[in-house]
Amino acid sequence: MRKKDEEHKSVLEKMEESFNNAHLTYANMMAECCLRATVDDFHATKTWLLSEGAQLLAKNIHKGREMTVAVAAVNNTMSAVGVISGLHNGYLHALKLKTPYAEVPLLNRNAAEELDMAVARFDSLTFPVVEDLPKLINEPLFKIKEALSFANSGSSEK
C-alpha cells in the first residue's frame, strides 16, 4: 500500500508541475497579448497625432474665438489709426480753412492707444485647446479625438 501511495504522490506532483507550467504559459501568453495591444494603441495614437491631430489642433486655433477676437481687434484699431492719420492730415488742411477740430467726422483721438492695447491682448493670447492638451496624456485615443473635434465638426470622421 505504501508503494501505491508513493506512486500516487509522484503522479500528483507531476500533475501539479504540469498544471503550474500550463498556468505559467497561459499567464505569459496573456501578458504578451496585453503588451501587444498596448503597443498597438500607442502606435495608433502616435500615428493619429502626427497625421491628423496636429492639423486638427491648428484648425482649432485658427477657427477659435480667441484668435478671431484678437485679430479683429488689431484689424479694427489699426484701421482706426489709419483713418485718424488721414483725418489728422485732413484737419490740418481744414485748419487752414478755420474748421473746428471737434467737427471733424470720425475723429478718435484714442486710436493709437486702442491699437497698442489690441496688440498687447493679441501678444498675450492663450488658447484653451492647447492649454488643455497635457490633461489628455493618459487618456485613450478616442478621448483625445473628442477633445480636438470641434473644428472638424463638418467632417464625417470623429
Is 158 part of a structural domain of the chain?
no
pLDDT at residue 121 greater than cutoff 60: yes
Domain that holds residue 12: 1-38
Is 28 part of a structural domain of the chain?
yes
pLDDT at residue 2 greater than cutoff 50: yes
Give one DSSP letter per residue of 7-34, joined into a string.
Answer: HHHHHHHHHHHHHHHHHHHHHHHHHHHH
Under 8 Å between Cβ of 57 and 148: yes
Q: Could you count the other beta carbons within 10 Å of the beta carbon of residue 36?
A: 10
Is 32 part of a structural domain of the chain?
yes
Is 51 part of a structural domain of the chain?
no
Is 17 part of a structural domain of the chain?
yes
Q: What is the pLDDT of residue 158?
A: 43
Close Cβ partners of 141 (under 8 Å, ≥ 6 residues apart): 41, 44, 45, 48
Q: pLDDT tens, 130-153?
A: 777 788 877 888 888 888 776 556
Structural domain count of the chain: 1
Q: pLDDT tens, 21-59?
A: 888 888 888 888 788 888 888 888 877 876 688 778 888
Give CA separation, 4 vs 13, 14, 155, in Å.
Answer: 14, 15, 75
Q: What is the pLDDT of residue 155?
A: 47
Is 55 part of a structural domain of the chain?
no
DSSP H helices in 49-156:
54-63, 65-96, 111-123, 128-131, 141-147
Q: pLDDT tens, 60-118?
A: 887 888 888 988 998 888 888 887 787 777 777 767 777 666 666 666 778 889 888 98
Is 7 part of a structural domain of the chain?
yes
Is 93 part of a structural domain of the chain?
no
Q: Could you count the other beta carbons within 10 Å of the beta carbon of residue 79?
A: 12
φ and ψ at residue 109, rounded to 5 degrees: -70, -15
What pTM value is reported for the model? Answer: 0.44
